[in-house]
Amino acid sequence: MIDRIPWIIGVGNPMRGDDGAASAVVDYLLAQDIPAYAFDGDGAELMEMWLGQSRVIVIDAAVSGAEVGTVHRFDAHLAELPRNFFRHSTHQFGVAEAVEMARALGRLPAEMIVYGIEGENFTLGGPLSPQVEQAVYQAAERIKADIGGPY
C-alpha cells in the first residue's frame, strides 16, 4: 500500500508566520497516518530528498499577489514552474529552481505535483493567517484526493 503513496514534502519555516503553511499541511497529513516530511533546507537538498522517487508532491508557501489563502496547484510535467512565486528560498534556490534544475538534469520524478499556499504575513514568530489556516485544510484534502485514499 505504501508504494502508492507519493513522497510528500512540505517546505518552509514554521517559525515565520505563513511560511509555515506547508509544514502545517504535513502535520495534518501525519495526524491521519499519511507519511509526509517537513523540510527547511536548500533546493539542492530538496532534489536529493526526492531522488529515486517516482511520485512526488511538494508544498510551499506562495507570494504571487493572489488572494491570501489561495491554493495553487501545478503539474510540473505540464509547464515550467513560475519563478519568484514561491516563498521559500535559500540563496535564491527554492522549490521552483529545484524542480527546474531536476528537469534540466533529467531527474524529474515521473509524477510531480507542486502546491503553493498564498500567504501574506511572514514575520518571525508570527502565527498562520486565518485564511492560510483554512487553505492548509483545503490543500491537505486535495492532496488526499491526489493520493486516492481511502484514508
Partner 1 sequence: MTKAPSVSTTRKIKVDALSRVEGEGALDLHIQNGVIKDLKFRIFEPPRFFEALLRGRDHSEAPDITSRICGICPIAYQLGASQAMEDALGISVTGPLRDLRRLIYCGEWIESHVLHAAMLHAPDFLGLDDALQIAKVNPELVKTALRLKKLGNDILDVVGGRAVHPVNLKVGGFYKVPTKARVRELIEPLKWAIDASRGVTLAFGGFDFPDFDYDYTCVSLRHADEYAIHEGRIVSNRGLDIAVKEFPDHFLEEHVAHSNALHGMLREGEAAYLTGPIARYNNNYDQLSQLAKSTAKEAGLGRVVTNPFKSIVVRMVETVYALEESLRIASAYEEPDGSCVTVAPHAGTGHGCTEAPRGICYHRYQLDDAGLILRATIVPPTAQNQKQIEADLRGVVERNLKLDDEKLKWRCEQTIRNYDPCISCATHFLKLSVKRD
Binding site for partner 1 (CB under 8 A): 41-42, 44-45, 47-48, 90-93, 97, 100-101, 104-106, 124
Nearest distance from C-beta of residue 27 to partner 1, angstroms: 20
Nearest distance from C-beta of residue 34 to partner 1, angstroms: 24
Residues 6+ away with beta carbon under 8 Å from 91: 42
Name the residue type at position 88: H
Cell 535564491 locates to: 92
Nearest distance from C-beta of residue 93 to partner 1, angstroms: 7
- Cβ proximity to partner 1, 25 vs 98, nearer residue: 98
Are 144 and 3 a contacting pair, CB within 8 Å? no
- Cβ proximity to partner 1, 89 vs 131, nearer residue: 89
Nearest distance from C-beta of residue 135 to partner 1, angstroms: 26
- Cβ proximity to partner 1, 47 vs 132, nearer residue: 47
**Closest Cα to residue 86, out of 12, 9, 6, 3?**
12
For the beta carbon of residue 74, count every other beta carbon within 10 angstroms: 20
- Cβ proximity to partner 1, 103 vs 144, nearer residue: 103
Output the CA–CA distances (angstroms, integers) from residue 78 to 39, 40, 75, 92, 111, in the order listed: 25, 26, 6, 24, 10
